[in-house]
Amino acid sequence: MAHLKLEKLPGWKDFPGPVVLVIMDGIGLGLADESDGLFVSHTPVLDGLFKEPTFVRLKAHGTAVGLPSDEDMGNSEVGHNALGAGRVFAQGAKLVNSAISSGGIFKSKAWEAIRGRAAAGTVHFIGLVSDGNVHSHIDQLYALLGRCACEGFKKVRVHGLLDGRDVGEKSALDYFEPLEKRLKELCGSGRDFRIASGGGRMVTTMDRYNADWGVVEKGWKAHVQGVGRAFPSAVEAIRTCYREDPKVTDQYMDSFVVVEGGRPVGTIQDGDAVVFFNFRGDRAIEISRAFEEKSFAAFDRGRVPDVFYAGMMEYDGDAKIPGNYLVEPPAIERTIGQYLCAEGVTSMAVSETQKFGHVTYFWNGNNSGYIDEKLEKYVEVPSDRIAFDLKPWMKGAEITDAVLESIAGGKRRFIRLNYPNGDMVGHTGIVPAVRIAVETVDLVLGRLGPSVEKAKGVLVVTADHGNADCMFTEKNGKRTPHVAHTLNPVPFIVKDSSAANRWRLASVAAPGLSNVAATLLNLLGFAAPRDYDPSLLELTS
């Protein structure tokens, strides 16, 4: 990394303490009404920070984070990419849409291999069935299915995961009814296209960060072995679950298997091809490992079919997971982490399991592992395996303890941390729990701030996207829980307790998350690389 050289920031003066970046995951700036979890919560610390002269609103969705349009909500993956990269890169949905539009996706080596398997075997598509555009988009699935029909694939199966998180909490029928209709339309001329299995995303297949491999195991049993509650169709499964338990939401719906004549219609067999059609990486890695790893110990897979497996994208560029994929990921290089390591700056990254990969893997441009283990320290606090609304404080105290210990030790110049509460609890849509989550973040900031001040350091507070800032929507007097991310801006505040430098807000036309990296470099005494988006701050004389 010797070629990564930063210039010193003219006029900057050194100070003894660290620069501490707090990412309040999922806490945006909402309508400041009863639906706004931040507004209705008791947050004296944040109220004070919002009065700082260096407070600014940042765009954290849409084109500002590399997504196709400003109608697309932000998410933690692209948010942390932008925070760590200092520039905007075309991201998952946009890359896939472009590859489909150009036809490049169907010229890839992976699609060629899938075509070969389709001659005698079944092609299986596993993924999230919605238009949330955070992990997947149903239009992309339709494009893949249409191509299968166009190329004469005879047998295709869809293993659909219910969303209820990036879209309405009980909206599954809005996607599965049209999908079943489309599959039926694609049948004929010897083609047999249908849904084979499914389940809610939080209990079937889509675990992340090794939090609960039982989720992946349940998906494996349904998709591969055909083990699960049997129904004649996916739509009938969903309707039955709604009827039997009116309180169940899509993301927690149990796995199911579609059967005909008492037999599953789509187990995965030797000679088949399997495509995981989600484009986002964090919840795609574990199921990919289950299909690809020969020495696999997370759970007993039983029969392991000999299949060609491909992801929509490469989900982990460093670990090369999966080995085959349809669309090349964005090439994110020269992240702030790489620059700081090249300059010998010590750092620390900490969060609990649910967001640990965001302050490491995503922050580092979709690369796992250390950049320079001699300079960096990554701390993962194990998350509890419990529904987030039942313990909305999560591991806020433990994350803070680790940071306070690091500040007291005085060995880390730059510390970044993520409090997951606003996002993970925000996804439940349960108002009391969301308020406790937000107030937890405020409470731990009340512990963190004085420590940074005592060390004569700099505290930076922001978020990666909105979520808790909209707990429900209301129409005709009826409230509907809002469990998805929002299009709201996020806060950005700098509280400099060093007394070494004086800062003011710079004139940035459309401030967004990608401006944060240059700002952090300035606070650490470096001029940002010329192709980084500009700093939000400037030194005053």
Identify whether the C-beta of residue 5 lies closer than 8 Å to the C-beta of residue 342: yes
List, in order, residues 6 or more apart from 272 with CB less than 8 Å away.
117, 121, 122, 123, 124, 305, 307, 308
pLDDT at 329 exceeding the cut of 80:
no
Whole-number Å distance between alpha carbons of 412 and 458: 13
Secondary structure of residue 515 in the 3-state scheme: helix
pLDDT at 196 exceeding the cut of 60:
yes
Per-residue confidence (pLDDT) for residue 518, from 0 to 100: 98
pLDDT at 113 exceeding the cut of 80:
yes
Identify whether the C-beta of residue 86 lies closer than 8 Å to the C-beta of residue 518: yes
Per-residue confidence (pLDDT) for residue 285, from 0 to 100: 92
Query: Average per-residue pLDDT in the chain?
Result: 95
Whole-number Å distance between alpha carbons of 458 and 450: 11
Whole-number Å distance between alpha carbons of 498 and 181: 63
Identify whether the C-beta of residue 197 lies closer than 8 Å to the C-beta of residue 159: yes
Q: Confidence class of residue 317 from pLDDT cuts 50, 70 and 90?
A: low
Alpha helices in 268-322 (DSSP H): 285-292
Which residues sit opposite 44 in a β-bridge? none
CA torsion 201-385-285-219 (nearest 10°) is -50
The pLDDT of 206-211, averaged and rounded, is 88
| Residues belonging to the active site | 76
Indicate the residue type of 37: G
Whole-number Å distance between alpha carbons of 191 and 188: 5
| Tokens linked to 487 | 């299009």
Phi and psi at residue 528, in whole multiples of 5°?
A: -75, 150
Secondary structure of residue 379 in the 3-state scheme: strand
Whole-number Å distance between alpha carbons of 28 and 50: 12
The count of C-alpha atoms lying within 13 angstroms of the C-alpha of 157, restricted to the half-sphere facing its C-beta, is 25
Whole-number Å distance between alpha carbons of 298 and 392: 27
Domains belonging to the chain, first-starting first, are 19-90+332-539 (3.40.720.10), 93-327 (3.40.1450.10)
Phi and psi at residue 229, in whole multiples of 5°?
A: -65, 135
User: Long-range contacts for 236-245 (Cβ within 8 Å, ≥24 apart)?
Assistant: 237/198, 238/162, 238/172, 238/173, 238/176, 239/173, 242/170
Q: Confidence class of residue 208 from pLDDT cuts 50, 70 and 90?
A: confident
Per-residue confidence (pLDDT) for residue 318, from 0 to 100: 58
List, in order, residues 6 or more apart from 369 with CB less than 8 Å away.
318
DSSP annotation of 361 reads: I
Q: Which helix (H) or strand (E) holds 331?
A: none
Per-residue confidence (pLDDT) for residue 2, from 0 to 100: 47
pLDDT at 403 exceeding the cut of 90:
yes
- pLDDT digit string, tens, across residues 29-74: 999 999 999 999 999 999 999 999 999 999 999 999 998 888 888 9
Whole-number Å distance between alpha carbons of 416 and 346: 12
Whole-number Å distance between alpha carbons of 291 and 536: 45
**Residue 382, Cβ neighbours under 10 Å: how many?**
14
The pLDDT of 90-115, averaged and rounded, is 94
Quick one: angle between helices 138-150 and 173-186, nearest 10? 10
Identify whether the C-beta of residue 106 lies closer than 8 Å to the C-beta of residue 312: no
Indicate the residue type of 175: Y
Identify whether the C-beta of residue 33 lies closer than 8 Å to the C-beta of residue 470: no
Q: Are strands 308-313 and 325-327 parallel, antiparallel or unpaired?
A: parallel
Nearest 5°: the CA angle 465, 466, 471 is 160
**Residue 480, Cβ neighbours under 10 Å: how many?**
13
Q: Calculate what percentage of the chain has a pLDDT beyond 70.
A: 99
Whole-number Å distance between alpha carbons of 479 and 482: 9
The whole model's pTM is what? 0.77
pLDDT at 120 exceeding the cut of 80:
yes
The pLDDT of 459-488, averaged and rounded, is 93
Per-residue confidence (pLDDT) for residue 3, from 0 to 100: 78
pLDDT at 477 exceeding the cut of 90:
no
List, in order, residues 6 or more apart from 377 with CB less than 8 Å away.
347, 348, 349, 406, 412
